[in-house]
């Protein structure tokens, strides 16, 4: 039973990490690739860690480190992704032509308009 859970968790984990890697190539511009790596890799890692937690938990080890790592990954990866996206936009890396709307720009205009009106 334990083995089954570990295998499933491992498989899911690997699947998402590989998915992230594939996204890295296939997606057109920085911002979309960003989603792939941060989101799916984090999920993939979580899967891995759960597998390890289950396996070692069953053997009676203290699984604190695994859970702590999951927490860390969930804390840091999104922040990293956010910072990169923000700075990419600020230094003006162009969106790919496929993108439909540039939300940041319109929000920026609103902010400027609100600013002018005061």
Partner 1 sequence: MIETVAQVCLIALGLSMLPAIYRIVQGPSVADRVIATDALVTAIMAIVILVSLTRNTREYMEAVMAMAILGFFGTVALAKYLVKGRAID
Partner 2 sequence: MIARSVILTTCARIAYPVLLLFAVALYWRGHNAPGGGFIAGLLTAAAIALRFIAHGRRDRSGASAPFITAIGVGLAIALTTAFGSLAFGHAFFTHTFGHFHLPLIGDVELATAALFDLGVYIVVVGNVITVVSAMTDREPGED
Residue closer to partner 1 (CB basis): 65 or 107: 65
The CA dihedral of 80, 85, 86, 90, to the nearest 10 degrees, is 140
Q: Out of 4, 25, 90, 114, point to the residue binding partner 2 (CB under 8 A).
A: 90
Candidates 5-13, 28-36, 43-51, 69-77 — which segment interacts with partner 2 by CB under 8 A?
Answer: 69-77
CB atoms within 10 A of CB 54: 19
Q: Which does 55 bind (CB under 5 to 8 A by kind): partner 2, partner 1, none?
A: partner 1
Site for partner 1, residues 32 to 61, rule: CB under 8 A: 33-34, 37-38, 41-42, 44-45, 48-49, 51-52, 55-56, 59, 61
Contacts of 45 by beta carbon, 8 Å cutoff, 6+ apart = 13, 17, 69, 70, 73
Find the largest Cα–Cα distance for the chain: 66
Residue closer to partner 1 (CB basis): 26 or 106: 26
């Amino acid at each position: 039973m334990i083995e089954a859970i570990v295998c499933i968790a491992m498989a899911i984990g690997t699947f998402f990490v590989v998915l992230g890697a594939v996204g890295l190539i296939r997606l057109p511009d920085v911002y979309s690739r960003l989603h792939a790596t941060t989101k799916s890799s984090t999920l993939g890692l979580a899967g891995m860690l759960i597998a390890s937690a289950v396996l070692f938990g069953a053997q009676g080890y203290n699984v604190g480190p695994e859970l702590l790592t999951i927490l860390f990954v969930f804390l840091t990866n999104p922040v990293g992704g956010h910072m990169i996206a923000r700075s990419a936009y600020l230094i003006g890396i162009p969106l790919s032509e496929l993108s439909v709307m540039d939300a940041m720009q319109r929000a920026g205009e609103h902010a400027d308009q609100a600013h002018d009106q005061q």
